[in-house]
Amino acid sequence: MQIRFWGVRGSTPAPQPENMRYGGNTSCVEVRVGDHLYIFDCGTGFRVLGQALRREFGSRPVSAHIFVSHFHWDHIQGLPFFGPLYDNAENHFEFHCSSRTRSLKQVFEEQMAAPYFPVGLKQMQAHQNFYDLEEGRIQLDAATLQASWLNHPQGCMGFRLETRDGVVVYATDNEPGHALFDKNVRKLAAGADILIYDSQYLPEEYAANRRGWGHSHWREAINVVMESGAKELILFHHDPDHDDACIDKVVKEARNYYPRVRAAAEGMQVEVLNARSAVK
């Protein structure tokens, strides 16, 4: 299993020079299991992933399962800019998302409608399927996916991908303090090799004036990884106002409580083999 981070920022892109080591693009994570491609969220990092796939595949068709956690801007901003959707009618993309509020296809069409975007969904040649996803488990070729609701305004889904090589959990946009959702995220993360978890705020920021905004902090991330038995924690969804130095400090402090912690950075690759991970 290979994991690569294409967008790690929360709320809005933040491409200032002081943020460049960790990156300024919003949420997008790629997971590969053999020839199978799984993508989590379509923030602005989704555009950069599309560029890389174009270079890698050339004229060969691309196929992927794409999981959208929810419809807030920082998780869908990259959809209209994903090149492989326009390139080749043989490209196949399977989109999975809950449609409790509206369907992803409807959101997609509205996002690209006038006056917000110059071309419409019909300009995309690639084959697209849209699947309604609810809590539970589904089988996807080389993997099993488990989805659970998290605590976030208008809702957000967390995902657990189980494969022959290991288990990765993508649980962004979750606020602690609700008994049901606290249980959900720990069950989702139980024994995982890699836990990718929301750590947008500093604990003191959250306590002062961020309650109810739908995000977590690094201290709660430590609680989740220790209580769930997950093996490694990757802090994710960094606040746009947290520069590289701030995130460095967070990682240093977090390692005082749990040694296997790092912060997600654009371009960072993690390989999971025999329940051990290595950074590339």
Rg, C-alpha atoms of the chain: 18
pLDDT value at residue 99: 78
pLDDT along the chain (280 residues), means of 10: 98 97 98 97 98 96 97 96 95 92 89 93 94 94 95 95 96 96 97 98 94 94 98 98 98 98 98 66
DSSP 135-158: SEEEEETTEEEEEEEES-TT-EEE
- Give the three-state DSSP class for 21: coil
User: Over pLDDT 70: what percentage of the chain?
Assistant: 98
pLDDT value at residue 32: 97
Separation CA 197–CA 209 (nearest Å)? 21
Separation CA 198–CA 35 (nearest Å)? 28
pTM of the model: 0.96
Whether the Cβ atoms of residue 87 and residue 57 lie closer than 8 Å to each other: no
Domains of the chain, first to last: 2-279 (3.60.15.10)
C-alpha angle with apex 236: 172 to 278, nearest 5 degrees? Answer: 120
Segment 141-185, tens digit of pLDDT = 889 999 999 999 999 999 999 999 999 999 999 999 999 999 999
C-alpha angle with apex 212: 101 to 12, nearest 5 degrees? Answer: 70
